[in-house]
Every structure is written in structure tokens, then in C-alpha cells.
Amino acid sequence: MNEIKMIKVKANEQVFEVRVAGLGNQGSLVVLLHGFPESSLMWEPLMIRLAKAGYRVVAPNQRGYSLTARPQGYKNYAMQLLAKDVIEIARKVGFNKQFHLVGHDIGAVVGWTVATLYPNLIKSWTALSVPDWPAYLWALNNDPVQKKKGHYVHTFQHKYIPELMLAAFNYHILRKLWAGFPKTTIDAYLNLFSEKGALTAIVNWYRALLKLPQIIYTPVTVPTKFIWGNQDLAIARGGVDKNRDYVNGPYEFVELNAGHWFMEFNQNEICQEIMSHIQKYN
């Protein structure tokens, strides 16, 4: 019952590939959101732990990452739509009033958006690596260190160029990001990102962030744990420190002596941090 299965879930006129575990359990639902450039595959070790602890666990390949949920045009990747996808997928698998939410990287931005727009549906929220969008955007515009670390966000605004860069020399940039990952994981990601339209879809997340009007990000009120690695290749301290201004509810900040890829290189520690927060607000 606690094994991981891949199912199809139709939500918001898209069909998502979704990893699930423990759906027959009696515990609360936990939804896990991957970031760039990964997929729900990253969550498998945590899914097994959560399912064995009695939770029902769902990890979708989000919009653009699922072959049958890959609409054209960056306007179809607005944060409002990505957040609504999360809610609709959760509703399809079923939850009792509220569910727990965990997100990494730009999947954390989706999670912050869900926590902002649908606070009454969230039991607890755990953000990995990336602060709330207004804190990150402030840092991107004002913090020299974040400007350097986040230059790719501006590069991704161009047409065609980002896709060509990511695919060049047999996906060299992506392979460099995945250095040290298991070969089976790298192969799975290469298969995904080499699918038709995949690179454009994932870059469209970033295009939508800067090209489209954004929602009003009011301070988050749900119980929040924010975990950041002080050696993160993409996220500097400026936005991390600023994040406290955007949380009004219970807030725990955890700084790890780690980089960006928590699940790959800090698996035991990060799983314990996530599960302790979920269990605290179960």
C-alpha cells in the first residue's frame, strides 16, 4: 500500500502525471511540489517515509513537466494557474478539509502562492530553498549577490535562446546542475526534458513570473517552515532574511550548512525537518 505508483489526474483541463503513495492510509494528505530542473521523482525517498508514517502522499509532475499538461504560451504558466493546479489535484485524490504542502525551488514559489491564495486549505507549509516571491523579487532587484545568482531568471525572458542554451552540447548546463545525482535520475530527467515542448514549457514558468501581472502577495498566515542552505547556488541570504516580512503566522526558519539540492545530498536531515513540521501541525 505504501509503494509509489504513477497515476493520471485530470485537473484544470490538463492531465497530470502524479506519483502517489499511501492513498489507502488514514492520515492527512501531503502534497509535494518539485522545482526546476527536476520532477516529482526527486520526492520518492520522502514519499516512502511519509507513507510508512501513515500519510497519504501526492507529488505531481507539474504543468509543463507532464507531457499531457503542456499548453503552449507563457500565459498558461501564470502562478495563479500553477497554484490552482495544486488545489485541483489535491481535490481529485481527496483530502479532509486541509492538507500539508511542501515545495522546493520554483515549486516553493508555487507553494507560497497556494498558501497566499488558499490559506484555509493548508494545514502546514514547508518551503525549501526559495523565499516568498516578493522577498525573492526584492532581492533580485536590490541585492548584488542575488542579482548575480539569479541572472538566469532574466536570461529566461528571451525567446528561443534559453531553450537553445539548455539543449546545447547534449544538455550540458542541465548535466552540470545534476552533477553527483544518480545516473538513473539524470537519465529520467533527460528523457523528460528532451520531450517535445518540454524546455519551452519549463522556461515559461519564469517568463510568466516577470511578464505577467502578479497576484498581491499578502503575508502568509499558515504555519510555515522555511529551510535554506547557506551554500545555495541560486538563492542568496538577502531575500532569505527579507522573507520574515511576508509571514504573519507561525514561522520557523532553518538554516542548513548545505547547497540547493537537499533531497539528493541532505536526504535524511531534510526529510526529518519536513516530517517534524508536518507532524507538529497534523
Helices then strands, counting H and E runs in the chain, come out as 12, 8
**Residue 233 pLDDT class (50, 70, 90 cuts):** very high
What the block records as the C-alpha cell of 216 is: 498581491
Hey, what domains does the chain have and what are their CATH numbers? 5-280 (3.40.50.1820)
Per-residue confidence (pLDDT) for residue 96, from 0 to 100? 82
pLDDT digits (tens, 9 = 90+) for 171-198: 999 999 999 999 999 999 999 999 999 9
3-state SS class at 23? coil
Averaged pLDDT score across all residues of the chain: 97
Mean pLDDT of 164-175: 98
Per-residue confidence (pLDDT) for residue 2, from 0 to 100? 80
Strands (E), 22-121: 29-33, 56-60, 99-104
What the block records as the C-alpha cell of 75 is: 500565459
Per-residue confidence (pLDDT) for residue 115, from 0 to 100? 98
Cα 23 off chain centre by: 21
Per-residue confidence (pLDDT) for residue 1, from 0 to 100? 67
**Residue 214 pLDDT class (50, 70, 90 cuts):** confident
- Looking at the chain, the whole-number percentage of residues with pLDDT higher than 70 is 100
Per-residue confidence (pLDDT) for residue 31, from 0 to 100? 98
- Rounded to whole angstroms, how far apart are CA atoms 208 and 147? 19
pLDDT digits (tens, 9 = 90+) for 50-65: 999 999 999 999 999 9
pLDDT digits (tens, 9 = 90+) for 125-137: 999 999 999 999 9
Which residues fall within 8 angstroms of residue 179, CB to CB, at 6 or more apart?
A: none
Provide the phi-psi class of 34: left if phi over 0, else alpha when psi is between -120 and 50, else beta: beta
Only one residue has cell 507538529, namely 280
With a cut of 90, say whether residue 81 has pLDDT above it: yes
